[in-house]
Chains A and B, each alone.
Chain A
Amino acid sequence: MGWEETQVRGYPEFVRTAQSYHGRPIFALFCGDKDAEGKSWCPDCVTAEPVVRKELHNLPDESVFIYCLVGDRAYWKDPNNEFRRNLKLTGVPTLLKYGTPQKLVEEECFKAELVRMLFTED
């Protein structure tokens, strides 16, 4: 079985989804909400998403890729939002391997080499 993608929005849905996949490697990309035309308020997320998607085929078998929209810009700017508080996210986009300290933040997500390293190496 290869890898699979699921899309969520907001913190509670993210947590529920991550828990439901407990036992499998989970990778998550956190981005700002998209408008009606499908464009995010977060310009770095717009740049990062295609880079990350291009590397998805490197995901290990059985793994899950959660694409998570965090909320609107005002929600994200609040220093107490649940993603900052509980998941210790410091910026969007963030690409991480759930349950490990391995993550790429902001411009690091633009680099295919680093994304590939996160997906394929221990």
Chain B
Amino acid sequence: SVQAHQEEDNPQKTMEVNGLTPVPESYDYDLIVIGGGSGGLAAAKEAAKYGKKVMVLDFVTPTPQGSSWGLGGTCVNVGCIPKKLMHQAALLGQALQDSRKFGWQFTEEVKHNWMTMTESVQNYIGSLNWGYRVSLRDTKVTYENAYGEFVGPHTIKATNKKGVEKLYTAERFIIATGERPRYLGIPGDKEYCISSDDLFSLPYCPGKTLVVGASYVALECAGFLAGLGLDVTVMVRSILLRGFDQDMANKIGEYMKEHGVNFIREFVPIKVEQVEEGTPGLLKVTAKSTTGDQMIEGEYNTVLLAIGRDPCTRKIGLDKVGVNINEKTGKIPVNDEEQTNVPHIYAVGDILQGKLELTPVAIQAGRLLVRRLYAGATAKCDYVNVPTTVFTPLEYGACGYSEETAVEKFGEENIEVYHNHFWPLEWTVPSRDNNKCYAKIICNIQDNERVIGFHVLGPNAGEVTQGFAAAIKCGLTKEQLDSTVGIHPVCAEV
């Protein structure tokens, strides 16, 4: 078990925490941030605003396939940004089909070019990487493209890609090293499979793809690959979108199935072999049932693993400075001020135990932490009622409790669920599904029917959910919701 450090009430400590005592001459920096992703960069830039001397260390260990990327972390390079752009590419394909019903005439068949899309996406990402570097240099934050690890209580060793080592000291540290995709641990996985780290810069079209996993990463990738016209199969060990409202998760799965994504349920791959080399080549996957002895085989051009992500906390010298991690998961437990068990070492982002793995959460946590450290602020990051969206072909936006968790916490008799299917007006003319879009709210009867869960499945779910998240934060009740006049004709009016 792990103990989070308890701060003693101590005026000297309070002064130090508020940055009012001078930095000892012996430290190179006030703050070193390990990891230049969403959380790390937000914290570094914020600290620079208060005149602190800050260094950011960012380094990407190449994937087994050799992929690497620039400054900005997962979200910018191999996460949210390229994902949403490729999701958009797939939606545009659908829109082109719909457009004929709205009168657009084009005689050529519509095809998709993977390389054109990928080049545009990578070009945009490149401009973001550059933008971050300009921003850091402009705010006098020192950035080094080097792998940071602790070698002493206040000392970091930074190793660049040429193997050159340098030592730096700082008064405080923020660990923001994020996560990387997990591999299966079966023969052929690292040699032949790719992960989301490789997909968004893949220099050839993936072709017929097997996606292993049932996470939002797996379903979003499977979704846009299918939307681009590829033959996609998803291999699921048990349930879809663990941790999300299962009613909604199943609807997402159904929609994907009806729109051309194949699902293989209750199987796990046990080996991957190469049938033919190439870009893409041909791979043979052997899988075993989780419920019996049945074995199946399939051939695919690409196998994309999306079975989970592991924190990058095992090889950064945390043992040398006594920072506790959860040995099983690699996550770092922190108190509600993002402080580890070592008082001068903090952590933000995906690596935190028990916190949401989302870019805006990391950014918020990083900024507020720095304001508390150097600007005398007291506000802590609010991890409750954080809205999220899954960008599957039918988008899913949510804020608050899932139905299952609400029932568990409040009791079935104390919650009321209101729900509705809806048919987006834009879908009527092109004769798209009239019974797939769906909205549901979960209310706490004992608290004025306060809205404690919001779920919507439909186009632009992210845009719809954002506003309702603010309302929920203000304590929205069912009555208030009912008395809000709808905008017509939009999906959100439901």
B-contacting residues of A (Cβ < 8 Å)? 100-104, 108, 111, 113-114, 117, 121
A113 contacts across to B, CB distance below 8 A: 137-138
B138 touches A111 (CB 8 A): yes
A100 touches B126 (CB 8 A): yes
B138 contacts across to A, CB distance below 8 A: 108, 111, 113-114
Report the bound CA distance from A71 to B123 in whole Å: 28
A100 contacts across to B, CB distance below 8 A: 126, 130
A108 contacts across to B, CB distance below 8 A: 134, 138
Q: Is the interface of B mostly helix, strand, loop or mixed?
A: helix
Query: Does B127 lie at the interface of the complex (its beta carbon under 8 Å from any beta carbon of A)?
Result: yes
Report the bound CA distance from A117 to B133 in whole Å: 9
Q: Which of B124, B126, B130 has the most CB of A within 10 A?
A: B130
Complex: chain B residue closest to A104, CB-CB:
B134
Report the bound CA distance from A114 to B143 in whole Å: 13
Q: Which of B123, B133, B134 has the most CB of A within 10 A?
A: B134
Complex: chain A residue closest to B123, CB-CB:
A101
Complex: chain A residue closest to B136, CB-CB:
A117
8 nearest A-B residue pairs (beta carbon) = A101-B127, A101-B126, A102-B130, A101-B130, A117-B137, A101-B123, A113-B137, A114-B137
Contact with A along B405-438 (1 / 0, CB 8 A): 0000000000000000000000000000000000
A111 contacts across to B, CB distance below 8 A: 138
Contact with A along B108-139 (1 / 0, CB 8 A): 00000000000000011011011001100110
Given A100-B126, A102-B130, list of 17 further CB < 8 A pairs?
A100-B130, A101-B123, A101-B124, A101-B127, A101-B129, A102-B126, A104-B134, A108-B134, A108-B138, A111-B138, A113-B137, A113-B138, A114-B134, A114-B138, A117-B134, A117-B137, A121-B133
15 A-B contacts (beta carbon < 8 Å): A100-B126, A100-B130, A101-B127, A101-B130, A102-B130, A103-B130, A108-B134, A108-B138, A111-B138, A113-B137, A114-B134, A114-B137, A117-B133, A117-B134, A117-B137
A101 contacts across to B, CB distance below 8 A: 123-124, 126-127, 129-130
Report the bound CA distance from A108 to B138 in whole Å: 9
Report the bound CA distance from A111 to B101 in whole Å: 54
Complex: chain B residue closest to A116, CB-CB:
B137
B133 contacts across to A, CB distance below 8 A: 117, 121
B137 contacts across to A, CB distance below 8 A: 113-114, 117
Report the bound CA distance from A83 to B178 in whole Å: 40
Report the bound CA distance from A72 to B263 in whole Å: 61
Report the bound CA distance from A104 to B134 in whole Å: 9
A104 contacts across to B, CB distance below 8 A: 134
Report the bound CA distance from A54 to B8 in whole Å: 54
Complex: chain B residue closest to A121, CB-CB:
B133
From residue A105, how far is it (CB to closest CB) to chain B in Å? 10
Report the bound CA distance from A102 to B71 in whole Å: 13
Complex: chain B residue closest to A117, CB-CB:
B137
Report the bound CA distance from A114 to B136 in whole Å: 10
A114 contacts across to B, CB distance below 8 A: 134, 137-138
B126 contacts across to A, CB distance below 8 A: 100-102
A117 contacts across to B, CB distance below 8 A: 133-134, 137
Q: Which of A101, A108, A113 has the most CB of B within 10 A?
A: A101
B130 contacts across to A, CB distance below 8 A: 100-103
Report the bound CA distance from A51 to B124 in whole Å: 28
Contact with A along B186-230 (1 / 0, CB 8 A): 000000000000000000000000000000000000000000000
From residue A52, how far is it (CB to closest CB) to chain B in Å? 15
From residue B134, how far is it (CB to closest CB) to chain A in Å? 6
Complex: chain B residue closest to A111, CB-CB:
B138
Complex: chain A residue closest to B133, CB-CB:
A117
Report the bound CA distance from A111 to B133 in whole Å: 14
From residue B369, how far is it (CB to closest CB) to chain A in Å? 28
Report the bound CA distance from A102 to B70 in whole Å: 12
Report the bound CA distance from A121 to B130 in whole Å: 11
From residue A43, how far is it (CB to closest CB) to chain B in Å? 21
Report the bound CA distance from A101 to B124 in whole Å: 8
Report the bound CA distance from A1 to B156 in whole Å: 39
A103 contacts across to B, CB distance below 8 A: 130
Complex: chain B residue closest to A97, CB-CB:
B130
B123 contacts across to A, CB distance below 8 A: 101
Report the bound CA distance from A117 to B129 in whole Å: 13
Q: Which of A100, A102, A111, A113 has the most CB of B within 10 A?
A: A102
Report the bound CA distance from A27 to B129 in whole Å: 19
Report the bound CA distance from A114 to B130 in whole Å: 11
Q: Which of A104, A117, A121 has the most CB of B within 10 A?
A: A117
Report the bound CA distance from A101 to B123 in whole Å: 6
Report the bound CA distance from A100 to B129 in whole Å: 11
From residue B182, how far is it (CB to closest CB) to chain A in Å? 30
Contact with A along B134-178 (1 / 0, CB 8 A): 100110000000000000000000000000000000000000000
Report the bound CA distance from A11 to B129 in whole Å: 28
Report the bound CA distance from A100 to B127 in whole Å: 8
From residue B7, how far is it (CB to closest CB) to chain A in Å? 39
Complex: chain B residue closest to A103, CB-CB:
B130
From residue A22, how far is it (CB to closest CB) to chain B in Å? 18
Complex: chain A residue closest to B122, CB-CB:
A101
Q: Which of B123, B124, B129, B133 has the most CB of A within 10 A?
A: B133
From residue A82, how far is it (CB to closest CB) to chain B in Å? 19
Report the bound CA distance from A104 to B138 in whole Å: 12
Report the bound CA distance from A100 to B119 in whole Å: 12
